[in-house]
A = this chain, B = another copy of it.
Amino acid sequence: MADADPARARQRQASGRRSARQSPAERRKQLIGIGLEMLTTRPLHQITIDDVAAEAAISRSLLFHYFPTKRDYYAEVVRAASRRLLRATRVEGETIDDLVAGFLSFIERRHEPYIALFRSAGTDDWVHEIFRDTRAALTDQVLTALDIDAPSELVRAAVGAWLAYAEELALEWAQHGTGTRDEIHALLTGALGCVVRSAP
């Protein structure tokens, strides 16, 4: 994954130690891709610049040429992960059942990256902010599926908190197999209905 083009890699190795000159867009894409992949195997703060640079076969300095700071790099990686998550959970149908089913399917397939993303939430304020934005977008999806046009602050907060409930329960199911898929599904929709019903 560090280099999708074997020919280029061969050329690089043959021609000397200096990495082949690439367009900034490609390099950035490559570096963020490496970050995304690494994020699935370790927590964010364990991804060192050296690791990324080595994986990309470039020098540390070059990474700082593209990202002024390690945090900036992290932020872009996390943002990319967030976009990926939102794209993957985009509601297909319009009902809550469809939405919950889609969410569960997503968690079933990709709980590792999901865990990686939202376990990174605590590492620093700016990560947490990106994480909150992501959850806000998910909250909007849920609210539209619920046909709630102008929710009060309280309802928004309650639905956002329900997402925390859903994440926790779905991950417990995906990781340790607690309950059947139908049971989890019923728990999620039941709790959501309860939440919106009791929040006027």
CB contact between A194 and one of B46, B153, B167, B191 (< 8 Å): that residue? B191
Determine the main DSSP class of A at the interface with B.
helix
A173 at the interface (CB under 8 A from B): yes
Cα A68 to Cα B161 with chains together (Å): 39
**In chain A, residues 93-130, which have Cβ atoms closer than 8 Å to a Cβ of chain B?**
118-125, 128
Number of residues of chain A lying within 8 A (CB) of chain B: 41
Contacting pair A164 B168 (CB below 8 A): yes
Contact B119 A128 (CB under 8 A): yes
- Chain B hits for A162, CB < 8 A: 165, 191
Pick 14 A–B contacts, CB within 8 A, sort by A.
A45-B123, A118-B122, A119-B122, A122-B123, A123-B123, A153-B179, A157-B173, A160-B168, A160-B172, A161-B166, A162-B191, A164-B164, A165-B191, A191-B195
